[in-house]
Amino acid sequence: MVERFYIKGGTPLKGEVLIGGAKNSVLKLMAAAILAKGESKIYNVPDLTDVEIMLSVIAQLGAKTSYNKEEKSLTIDATDITSITASYELVSKMRASFIVLGALVSRCKEARVALPGGCAIGERRVDFHIRGLESLGAKIKIENGYVHAKTNKLVGADIYLDIPSVGATENIMLASVLAEGSTKIQNAAQEPEIVDLANFLNAMGADVNGAGTSEIIINGVKQADLHPIEYTTIPDRIEAGTFMTAIVATKGKGIIRNIYPAHLTFFTDKLLKMGANIKLIDPTSMEVSCKNRLNSINYVTQPYPGFPTDLQSMAMTLLTTANGVGIITESLYENRFMQVPDLNRMGADIHQDRNHAIIKGVKKLSGATLTASDLRAGASLVVAALMAEGNSVVEKLHHIDRGYENFENKIRLLGGKIERRVEESPTSLTEGIHNESYL
């Protein structure tokens, strides 16, 4: 059995959409929760497969976990950590679970975490994580596909990252919380999720300063100084950007609620330059609309506060039907144009040259059978199907379900014509695409 989206395009999205908690933040808060003995509770947690996997990782370590779907909260009781091993079976399903390495070394002075392996969008090295922990005094061996870190005592150090890696910054932060003395991370990642992690740790009793800048200082505290807390996750800026794109792409008008507009400044500026209309209606809500054909501009992905790589595929979808020619340069990952073949099958005119994509705007896209190759590429294909003429089918929804909660339900609330079906595979997709009454 397989799950597919059936989408009838051409309907402007209108109404309101409520953005959930940030996936890329909550996963790291879950790892941080094992630092303090006792029961912590995290609110605004989206119901996603990635969250389920992380809960399994933490439960494997001995913590007691539970998730309340109705109030979107999860509870982690880390009174007892009985295992230092995060298995390959779980870590291989989601790279972000590698973040437990720093927390385990910090609390237990030892960790055995599987190397996460490959990633659809390109290489994501962990050598920055390892060098950072070694600088703090951890002895590390890589054997049988696992990183085995052990130390008698972690001691603060000055650590410079060659690139502002989000994962490495987070792992070093977690490892430094209980280290002796001060740790300085230079060229640190500055993403809002880093700030959220620092705020969580400080509420727990840690001493983290400078998060959101290129230099973070962590003054080590004692285990007894840490205590369980209740905390609310920040909104998901990538989900917000996805729905902003969907509304603009379909020439609709909608309100995006439960957002931090400052986290979307660069993306908002780009949409305005293309011709979208965006206005702040209250501190956590924006109205987005578009009536006319957009104008092409160029995009270059950069670490925060630059243009986010996670919204690159959304930008490409908008450029497919914009006036003129736009160029997207992907500077962070070597294989993040996986949506290009499917967009071209819909009638787009995209030429890829290594890390550059040249998009010549066409008048319209046409419905097609599409395959989600990864989380963000998959979501961009859903947006493309919503703006296209005719019917589309999107397959491999498990990628999309990693990062979007109730994606199709939120789209339907905006008036989009989308349906999730569970079907036997293979099935006749051609019949579904050409049947105008299937939705």
Residues with catalytic roles: 119
Partners of 43 in the β-ladder? 73, 232
Residues 367, 52: Cα–Cα separation, whole Å: 33
Residues 6+ apart with CB under 8 A from 293: 275, 321, 322, 323
* Number of helices and strands in the chain (H, E): 15, 24
Partners of 99 in the β-ladder? none
Token look-up 């605004």 returns 44
User: 402 in helix, strand or coil?
Assistant: coil
70 close to 109: Cβ distance less than 8 angstroms:
no
168 close to 193: Cβ distance less than 8 angstroms:
no
Q: Is 174 exposed, middle or buried (0-12, 13-18, 19+ CB in 10 A)?
A: buried
DSSP 202-248: HHHT-EEE-BTBSEEEEE---GGG----EEEPPB-HHHHHHHHHHHH
154 close to 128: Cβ distance less than 8 angstroms:
no
Residues 398, 403: Cα–Cα separation, whole Å: 9
Closest CA to 67 of 50, 85, 86, 92: 50
